[in-house]
A and B are shown apart, each in its own frame.
Chain A
């Protein structure tokens, strides 16, 4: 019997006797999730984190104090009954736990992997507060993933109400679109999801890499939609193939949800940004993920730069994904260049850890001034400036200030810009009545309804830059409002 098994045995006995006290719970060590080791995973695209075993999950769940007020739930954008599902795991009732999670989350296998729990539910966790370390909170995300991965049967297909005769068009098959499609279909309406790419899933398939979110998990969620009777139409660009107006006036859709996601990638507006070898993170990741450029010449036809030294600009999750992808594509040195310090990085701590384990070199308090190239237009280097932190800025973080005369040249042949996206102009160009703000994002009310009747929107096209879970939260809200509207 392993130590973990012995510990679990003792705890279960106490639990059954009603004698499991807070101090026992605090004493349970945080359960790390098994992962491929850093060196090994540099060479493959497989998922890094391997998931809890049953013993680990149960031990981790027993760390939960079962607070009466359940502050974790307040931190969840889709209000999963977190305490209740964690308690169910602690009691060994995994199926019950899954049922609780599924009440509110349609994509637990996805959310358990990519949601930033440390700034949501886990940030509010009493255990983390007790240790004054949010990393010591109960690992709610890992537990969510654990129960989600247990569910692999057709009996989980949500029930669909009898046909209403109403038709709904959903533009974009990303996390928001998937949630809206499921919730609206459940109410008995006909649902068509339109996707611009040749495969559904949006950012879950083109953006988030396989090693963080396996494509098969996304495909399972899409298959659930199909089994519910949702029609998915790929290679269809709303605004070009058909406009929103045409969908509603000519094609008979009674309501529309716009969840088109990330828009135009932002660049730094510095010299040399159009050199060959400078990518937006969107392009780099799309080539590598969706188009499988890592198999170029071995079955896949989409090329990607063969790089030796790569600089990734930015400090968010997309920057981490890009850097870790560059490692896997064979780069010898991958530098993550960020103008603030590591503390200010918006990326998830777990992703930062993973990137470091895989050998990504963090160059903080540095920022490029210009990108250097040769006559052929290829990147040959990047001139950077060093920074220091000054006064607090509007975002509440210390403002990075360039140090005069601190220029130095970084030897790189590829630069990936991961500093966010502006709004996609396609819908705005082709939907005259819809109201947009000055950044090009769609204006919506508290129910995600736009300025046009029966047209709703959510996710990045509304929020600017959202997360998977926020897009799902908005989708859920919009779907409820749309179902109410359609019932009138």
Chain B
């Protein structure tokens, strides 16, 4: 069976880590790339997910995902031995890795997952890594140990102060940028609103900043244009021109609006799914 699930582990209330067989993707994937998956080959929605790790021996990739809608809720229900409908990739341009000097890596919530392989690749290229990990609360904080291993300095925060420092990632980011010498490069991956404010922060200090965008997509090969964003006034497609862009040029406000395109329909599907699940429970 292709796309067999090797493990599907709960990292926190709504965050899961799935190792799944995809030998062709595992072989050619590079840091920063993503896949499109569907739970059901025939009826499932295609959703883009970043690859947060790879096991070349097993021919598997690691997907870390948050249960936010029907598709991810279905994924969360799968276990070892089950399979995904399909996986296609790797998609997007790989991250440009070079020795910048000091790089500050900001990961918000689930954004820590795609950030990890990039931080590892940057470390390997000889950069000094300062990582800032933020989450709403301790429960949602993931990959702290992995980041500790790859970082020269790690700052952990929660919005509610339940773990680490209390506050938003932009505060320590500002402090790090105020140091002398300032960091040479920044990468921010997380919710759009977080990336937006990180970019505003680093812009003040003229620290070049890269972001990774995760917009709505259908095919992932440039054919549909659903993922289009405005970068420095020009239309770009996240799937073939990205997913990483110069964060100082991204029109985040527009992107956030586009990401909400199916909010109502998606919520309805998710509610239906959850109700359906409950009914099954009652019958048992």
Contacts and interface: CB of A to CB of B under 8 A. Distances in A.
A262 interface: yes
Contacts of A267: 225, 228, 235
B272 A235 contact: no
Interface string B73-106: 0000000000001111111010000000000000
B223 A198 contact: no
Contact of A301 (B221, B235, B260, B269): B269
Contact of B224 (A198, A241, A280, A377): A280
Contacts of A287: 218
Nearest to A292: B43
Interface in A264-299: 264-265, 267, 269, 273-277, 279-280, 282-283, 286-287, 291-292, 295-297, 299
A466 interface: no
B223 A262 contact: yes
B225 A303 contact: no
Interface of A: 196-198, 206, 234-237, 240-242, 261-265, 267, 269, 273-277, 279-280, 282-283, 286-287, 291-292, 295-297, 299-303, 305-306, 376-377, 424-426, 429
- Select the residue from A276, A300, A376, A424 with max chain B CB neighbours within 10 A: A276
B221 A283 contact: no
Given A196-B88, A274-B258, A297-B268, A263 B235 contact: no
A382 to B, nearest CB: 18
A236 B88 contact: yes
A237 B88 contact: yes
B45 interface: yes
Contact of A296 (B89, B240, B265): B265
B71 interface: yes
Contact of B221 (A274, A297, A426): A426
Given A286-B219, A425-B222, A276 B43 contact: no
Contact of B24 (A241, A296, A302): A241
B46 interface: yes
5 contacts: A236-B88, A265-B225, A275-B257, A286-B219, A296-B269
A11 B41 CA distance: 53
Given A274-B228, A274-B235, A264 B269 contact: no
B89 A240 contact: yes
Nearest to B254: A274
A377 B254 contact: yes
A198 B85 contact: yes
A291 B45 contact: yes
A234 B36 CA distance: 13
Given A198-B88, A240-B28, A301 B225 contact: no
Contact of A377 (B24, B258, B269): B258
Interface string B32-72: 00000010110111100000000000000000000000110
B92 to A, nearest CB: 8
B280 interface: no
